[in-house]
Amino acid sequence: MNAPTDLSMKTDDVLRVELEVFRREHRDLDEAITALTERTTADQLTLQRLKKRKLRLKDLISMIEDRLTPDIIA
């Protein structure tokens, strides 16, 4: 996840592709975290790092979704 966080310089098409990649990575991390927690000898440091990375991805996904969703004044 070494993507720059400056969304203003990217086109909507690029953001849509990145969004899909980040969502997939987020799901993969979720599965990895689940698999690790089911093990009795789970490495807590690795688990903590995976969870932190998953949260960063979630924030980035939210930022991209906000950028792609038009503001509609009701």
Question: What is the secondary structure of 2-31 as a DSSP string?
Answer: -----GGGS-HHHHHHHHHHHHHHHHHHHH
**C-alpha dihedral sign at 70, 27, 5, 16:** negative
Q: Specify the pTM.
A: 0.80
Q: What is the pLDDT of residue 54?
A: 98
What is the pLDDT, as a whole number, of residue 23? 97
Axis-axis angle for helices 44-68, 12-38 (nearest 10): 150
Q: What is the pLDDT of residue 70?
A: 80
DSSP summary character for residue 37: H
pLDDT below 50 — which residues of the chain?
1
CA distance 35 to 48: 14
